[in-house]
Amino acid sequence: MKTKLNIGKNIVWAVLPSRMVIFLAFQAIIALIFQSWEDSQTYWLLSATLTNTVSIILLVVLFRAEGKCFFSIFNFKKHTFKKDLAIFSALLLVAIPLVMLPNLILPGLFGKSANFATEILFKPLNNILLWVLLFLFPISIGLAELSTYFMYVMPKLKSRIKSKTLAILLPVIFLSIQHCTLPLVFDLSFIALRALVFLPFAAFVGISTHKRPSLFPFFVVLHVLLDMGTVAMFFIS
């Protein structure tokens, strides 16, 4: 038991930046395959899905090491479901604008057009790959992303560092800045935009799940639906 505790204490600091690093690693592999870094940027959706797969496997292993089932975190709480649903429905009035507005406001702050990031992110992809990713990407990111930061890292940090505020803030920040390498484009405005665009929503989810952990499965469902919309953007771009 003592050995497991030591492993858990150390690995949380590796898990915190892990997705950002793995995004970059898969992009580098794709760049080697196509012999082009620019072409690898187009396949960021594939890089993300592969990273999500690695994250899920890692979380399954980490939860199992503590005698827990990773997939149980996605269960709705029966005794609080109605109240959670009512609260989450109200929170949607804040969550949706926090997702949409940064995409509209931030490009202008960097002197860019509203379509600046869209033109980089949504380039033509193979249709067969897109249809596969239409399902794999949203489901995998729903399982991997919020759970990494708010159901593994955040609880671990709460028990290991004195500042509860910092224990919430660090996962929020890393959830947001991970997008710097999804994809990594060597343009400082794009990097800054990607680092900041998800920060309000990440903070909102982090604080909400901290205050009421039973809301977590609802945010996962929202996340999956939003990212189905992300893949759909490829079909209309």
What is d(CA 46, CA 130) in angstroms, rounded to the nearest whole number? 9
Cα 138 versus chain centre, distance: 10
CA atoms within 13 A on the CB side of 171: 28
Q: Reduced to 3 DSSP states, what percent helix, strand and coil does the chain have, rounded to the nearest 5?
A: 85, 0, 15
Q: Could you tell me the two tokens for 203? A: 């903070």
Res. 220 pLDDT band, cuts 50 70 90? very high
What is d(CA 92, CA 108) in angstroms, rounded to the nearest whole number? 26
Q: In whole numbers, what is the pLDDT of the chain averaged over residues? A: 95
What is d(CA 201, CA 144) in angstroms, rounded to the nearest whole number? 17
Q: Count the domains in the chain.
A: 1
pLDDT digits (tens, 9 = 90+) for 84-136: 999 999 999 999 999 999 999 999 999 999 999 999 999 999 999 999 999 99
Res. 8 pLDDT band, cuts 50 70 90? low
pTM of the predicted structure, to 2 decimals: 0.94
Tell me which residue of 154, 191, 206, 196 sits closest to 176, measured CA to CA.
Answer: 196
pLDDT digits (tens, 9 = 90+) for 150-198: 999 999 999 999 999 999 999 999 999 999 999 999 999 999 999 999 9
Beta strands in 63-149 (DSSP E): none
Q: Which class for 151: exposed (0-12), middle (13-18), buried (19 or more C-beta within 10 A)? A: buried
In 110-215, where does DSSP find H-type helix? Answer: 116-121, 127-146, 154-160, 164-177, 188-196, 199-211
Domain residue limits at 54 = 2-236
Tell me which residue of 219, 20, 2, 233 sits closest to 123, measured CA to CA.
Answer: 233
Token pair 């870094």 in the structure block, residue: 37
**Do 220 and 146 contact (CB within 8 A), yes or no?**
yes
Q: Is the pLDDT of residue 236 over 90?
A: no
Tell me which residue of 149, 148, 142 sits closest to 230, measured CA to CA.
Answer: 142
Residue 1's pLDDT is 41
Q: Could you tell me the two tokens for 105? A: 């406001």
Question: 38 in the Ramachandran plot: left (φ > 0), alpha (ψ -120 to 50) or beta?
Answer: alpha
Question: What is the tally of helices (H) and strands (E) in the chain?
Answer: 12, 0
